[in-house]
């Protein structure tokens, strides 16, 4: 792999604007190479000037610091100046400008200096943030050690001084770096110092309280006082240790990212300077890299010191002095691609395709669509099995989203907040979808016999219960506590589903409203679940009959089930409006309110018929469609918001702009699928249930397209803010007033 591609692949996606623009510098070098070739071909010889011209208008002379002989052997001179913002700025003076092709090299060094200043300043600002965060972690460790002492209630002075408060993360020098972990933590100090540390540690507790986020949601709702929250129990201690352990792991990974950032950019400068020397036949790389080595980017040692200190503290306090265990927790593990997943995915995909073909041949050979029981089957069994088609299609669309997110470097695990290393790849999702599809299709083939027992006039109970058995199996796997079938992802999904149902009791995060939006596209699947309850609960499955639609209770829930996802999103928007004071969330809530009215009116028209219902459904459905389409494109996708020549946003991940125009058109067309429920198109070769299922599939496809551009817009917002890490809540809150008084 060429360095340019490797450089891009190792970038932190949210920081990509802060890296060296290696591709731009390569293009400038190509222009230099082209201009030099042209100069040689034309045979134009330029007179060498005895003087020199300073780069980018500089007038500083270097005759005082360099002899004329040294200047003759050099191609560039680099010096540092102090900017108005206090940061150092590096400027390159190019010598021997009059040589052939030399003038075109001015642009290269001007761009290189600007890029290096950008990288150096960004790195320095991030290091300063890390140092400030280390100070906060010092206080958190003080409180943790004090809390441990208070819980353990030591009765003797034999307590190890490794539990004392002195865990200053910034107090590292070259001598301390050579000490062992035990020596850094002061285990060999005298017992009298340990005795003094205990009261000092306990005094910290007077100035802290527990962060409410570490306590249960019920206690948050009750709003207990700070005194009631600060209970010195082992349960609270365990929660605090877990939270602070996650904080340290995240902090350490930030440090690793910064270290990698420094290394990659330094390597990029070295590579590009070597290319410059080779193309321009110069020897400027050594001199420029000497300047880079003296800059803050490479000479600063704060990150290395902090990493050493974090390692020692983490191993001592969170890994029981087991360095191997501690480092395994701190260092992220590379996710390995498993060949058996790829094989299994291909196997089940083949099975799914084969069963679909076999199903078509079976229906054609037995002329099932022309039998007398065809209508009854479509009204009973088809809604049961269409549920699996909706779920499988949605999973395939999600797998496609993951594939394209990875291809265009959208950091979806970070955006969704997946635990590192547990996120599912597109192969894993396809494996689950095709596995479920294979199981459902097998059940369809078994259950396709539409003849009843001539003696009892009942259908076989075993075959009629197959759909219910598959649903029960899926639910059982979803809540299975054992570490099988991607337990971490299952529990994450169930947790988000619970927060969607419990809206607005919980703070709304991106996974919450993202999943709620997915559920709004699965209204027909939810209605299928309603039909499951009716069909099997009322015993219709014994005679394969559908008496559900004649029940007022069923028809009432037909409204409620369709409204639940939109109502959940409505409540989420209201919660965000109150918490974030963002007026746009109010307009978003209005969108879902209009959709609720439109869905209810269309449902009422499908059940009752009548011109009044039809006209009302037309008006509100058209209004909701226009509002929702505008919101999708302008707010969720970030397109057409600030019209430009192309009517697209400035930053796009997909290089082909036509993709965005096609997606906008498809979003509008697929949103108009509701017209079928109002216009009542009748196709003689399609049953009503088939048309409903096809329209539901079109909505799922529309949602899959929406998913990619929605997350692309979120990713670009994170890039614009250089937001590459989730903020982990700290376990302790310090009394700020006492801090200021002290």
More confident residue, 707 or 228: 707
Report how far apart, in Å, the C-alpha atoms of 11 and of each of 112, 553, 582, 704 are.
19, 57, 33, 27
Helices assigned H by DSSP within 331-421: 339-366, 374-407, 412-416
Q: Please state, in angstroms and rounded to a whole number, the distance separating the CA atoms of residues 259 and 544.
A: 66
pLDDT of 226 > 80? The answer is no
| pLDDT tens string 656-702 | 999 999 999 999 999 988 777 776 666 666 788 888 899 999 999 99
pLDDT band at 518 (very low <50, low <70, confident <90, very high): very high
Predicted confidence at residue 101, as pLDDT, reads: 55
Q: Which of these ranges, 173-177, 228-232, 335-339, 509-513, has the smallest mean pLDDT? A: 173-177
Question: H/E/C letters for each residue in 570-621?
Answer: HHHHHHHHHHHCCHHHHHHHHHHHHHHHHHHHHHHHHHHCCHHHHHHHHHHH
d(CA 522, CA 695): 11
Following DSSP, what letter does each residue of 509-564 receive, concatenated?
-HHHHHHHHHHHT-HHHHHHHHHHHHHHHTTGGGTT---GGG-HHHHHHHHHHHHH
Tell whether the torsion through CA atoms of 711, 715, 718 and 720 is positive or negative.
Answer: negative
**For residues 252-274, average pLDDT:** 92
The whole-number average pLDDT for the span 346-374 is: 86
Band (pLDDT 50/70/90 cuts) for residue 457 is low
More confident residue, 281 or 517: 517
Q: Which helix (H) or strand (E) holds 81?
A: strand 76-82
Residues 82 and 89 sit within 8 Å (Cβ to Cβ): yes
What is the residue-wise DSSP string for 440-488?
Answer: HHHHHHHT---PPPTTT----HHHHTHHHHHHHHHHHHHT--SS-S-HH
Looking up tokens 């045979």 gives 43
Q: What is the pLDDT of residues 469-489, one digit of tens each?
A: 999 999 999 999 998 889 999
| Tokens found for residue 540 | 């219709």
168 and 314 in contact (C-beta within 8 Å)?
no
Q: What percent of the chain has pLDDT over 90?
A: 40
Number of residues assigned to the chain: 742
Instruction: Name the pLDDT band for 344 (thresholds 50, 70, 90).
Output: very high
> Confidence class of residue 224 from pLDDT cuts 50, 70 and 90?
very low
Least-confidence region, from 81-85, 219-223, 531-535, 659-663 = 219-223
- Give 5-73 as a 3 state SS string: HHHHHCCCHHHHHHCCCHHHHHHHHHHHHHHHHHHHHHCCCCCCCCCCCCHHHCCCCCCCCCCHHHHHH
> For residue 504, is the peptide bond before it cis, meaning its omega torsion is within 30 degrees of 0?
yes
Q: Are strands 88-94 and 76-82 parallel, antiparallel or unpaired?
A: antiparallel
Give the chain's mean pLDDT: 80
- Residue-level pLDDT at 42: 62
């Amino acid at each position: 792999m060429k360095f340019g591609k490797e450089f891009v692949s190792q970038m932190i996606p949210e920081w990509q604007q802060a890296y060296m623009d290696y591709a731009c510098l390569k293009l400038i070098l190509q222009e230099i190479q082209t201009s030099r070739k042209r100069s040689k071909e034309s045979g134009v010889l330029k007179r060498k000037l005895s003087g020199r011209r300073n780069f980018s208008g500089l007038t500083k002379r270097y005759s005082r610091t360099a002899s004329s002989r040294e200047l003759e052997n050099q191609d560039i001179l680099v010096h540092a100046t102090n900017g108005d913002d206090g940061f150092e700025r590096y400027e390159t003076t190019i010598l021997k400008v009059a040589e052939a092709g030399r003038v075109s090299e001015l642009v290269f060094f001007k761009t290189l200096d600007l890029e290096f200043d950008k990288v150096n300043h960004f790195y320095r600002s991030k290091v300063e943030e890390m140092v400030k965060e280390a100070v906060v972690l010092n206080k958190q460790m003080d409180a943790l050690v004090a809390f441990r002492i208070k819980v353990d209630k030591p009765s003797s002075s034999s307590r190890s001084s490794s539990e004392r408060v002195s865990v200053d993360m910034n107090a590292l020098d070259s001598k301390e770096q050579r000490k062992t972990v035990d020596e850094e933590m002061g285990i060999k100090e005298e017992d009298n110092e340990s005795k003094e540390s205990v009261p000092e540690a306990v005094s910290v507790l007077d100035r802290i309280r527990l962060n409410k986020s570490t306590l249960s949601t019920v206690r948050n709702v009750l709003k207990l006082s700070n005194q009631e929250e600060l209970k010195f129990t082992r349960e609270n201690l365990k929660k605090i240790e877990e939270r602070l352990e996650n904080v340290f792991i995240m902090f350490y990974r930030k440090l690793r990212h910064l270290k990698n950032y420094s290394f990659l950019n330094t390597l990029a400068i070295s590579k590009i300077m070597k290319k410059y020397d080779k193309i321009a036949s110069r020897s400027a790389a050594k001199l420029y890299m000497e300047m880079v080595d003296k800059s803050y980017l490479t000479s600063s040692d704060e990150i290395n010191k902090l990493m050493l200190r974090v390692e020692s503290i983490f191993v001592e306090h969170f890994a029981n002095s087991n360095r191997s265990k501690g480092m395994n927790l701190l260092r992220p593990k590379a996710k390995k691609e498993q060949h058996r997943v790829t094989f299994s995915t291909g196997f089940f995909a083949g099975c799914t395709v084969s069963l679909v073909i076999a199903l078509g041949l079976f229906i054609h050979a037995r002329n099932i669509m022309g039998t007398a029981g065809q209508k009854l089957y479509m009204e009973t069994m088809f809604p049961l099995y269409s549920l699996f088609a909706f779920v499988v299609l949605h999973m395939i669309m999600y797998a496609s989203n993951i594939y394209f997110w990875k291809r265009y470097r959208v950091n979806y695990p970070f955006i969704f907040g997946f635990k590192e290393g547990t996120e599912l790849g597109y192969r894993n999702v396809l494996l689950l979808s095709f596995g479920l599809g294979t199981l459902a299709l097998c059940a369809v083939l078994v259950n396709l016999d539409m003849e009843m027992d001539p003696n009892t006039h009942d259908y076989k109970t075993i075959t009629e219960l197959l759909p219910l058995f598959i649903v029960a199996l899926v639910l059982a796997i979803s809540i299975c506590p054992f570490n099988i079938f991607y337990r971490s992802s299952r529990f994450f999904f169930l947790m988000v589903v619970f927060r969607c149902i419990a809206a607005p009791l919980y703070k709304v995060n991106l996974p919450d409203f993202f999943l709620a939006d997915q559920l709004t596209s699965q209204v027909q699947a939810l209605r299928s679940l309603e039909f499951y309850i009716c069909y099997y609960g009322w015993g219709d499955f014994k005679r394969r009959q559908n008496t559900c639609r004649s029940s007022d209770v069923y028809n009432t829930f037909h409204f409620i089930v369709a409204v639940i996802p939109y109502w959940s999103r409505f409540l989420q928007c209201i919660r965000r409006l109150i918490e974030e004071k963002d007026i746009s969330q109010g307009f978003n809530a209005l969108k879902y309110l209009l959709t609720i009215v439109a869905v209810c009116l269309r449902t009422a028209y499908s059940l009752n018929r009548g011109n009044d219902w039809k006209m009302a459904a037309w008006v509100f459905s058209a209004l909701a469609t226009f509002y929702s389409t505008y919101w999708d494109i302008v707010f969720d996708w970030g397109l057409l918001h600030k019209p430009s020549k192309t009517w697209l946003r400035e930053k796009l991940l997909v290089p082909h702009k036509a993709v965005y125009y096609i997606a906008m058109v498809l979003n509008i067309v697929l949103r108009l699928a509701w017209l079928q429920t109002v216009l009542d198109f009748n196709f003689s070769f399609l049953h009503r249930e088939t048309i409903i299922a096809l329209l539901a599939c079109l909505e799922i496809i529309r949602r899959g397209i929406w998913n990619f551009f929605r997350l692309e817009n979120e990713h670009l917002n994170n890039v614009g803010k250089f937001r590459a890490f989730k903020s982990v809540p700290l376990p302790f809150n310090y009394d700020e007033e006492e801090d200021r008084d002290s």
